[in-house]
Structure 1
């Protein structure tokens, strides 16, 4: 299973960014997404930014990752999946038979 980690760019040049997540700074390649401004949220995987995110999507992914930790440790996690708890599950359009 592959997991993308949302991070926020704090400094960057054309090819590499210093990205922050929970106070930790990592060097992340920007080759797949192109140059980005400080403050931009990116989804990272294995040291590379793979997609630019808006702040809301970055927060939702971060909440989901925290929810997995909480569930794994036997604590309440429902509040971290608020976008899913209040709605019925839906199949993506390409899997629907209608």
Structure 2
């Protein structure tokens, strides 16, 4: 399984960027993006930034990853999924039988 990581660009030369997430830094390709600036949030798969993220989406993805880490460690993970804990799960429209 491959997870996309919401990383922040620390420095860039236009072809690659040093990005950070949860204390880890790695150099990733930014060739699929149009000159993302330092400080931009990007979604990274297999050391390639595939798209820009806004702050809200980056935080939701980061919370989900931290929640999974908490769950694997046997901790309560409700705080990471606050947008899901107070409602019944809903199927996407294309999976509902109407």
Fold match (TM-score > 0.5):
yes
Q: Shift in Å at residue 33 of structure 1?
A: 2.3
Q: Which residue of 2 aligns with 1:18?
A: 18
Query: How far, CA to CA, are the matches of 2:3 and 2:73 in structure 1?
Result: 19
SS at match of 2:10: strand
Contact 1:15 1:34 in 2 (8 A): no
Q: How does 1:11-90 map to 2 (within 5 A)?
A: 11-90=11-90
Aligned length: 98
Cα RMSD after superposing both structures = 1.4
SS at match of 2:76: coil
Query: How far, CA to CA, are the matches of 1:31 and 1:43 in structure 2?
Result: 13
Query: How far, CA to CA, are the matches of 1:35 and 1:93 in structure 2?
Result: 36
Q: Shift in Å at residue 89 of structure 1?
A: 1.7
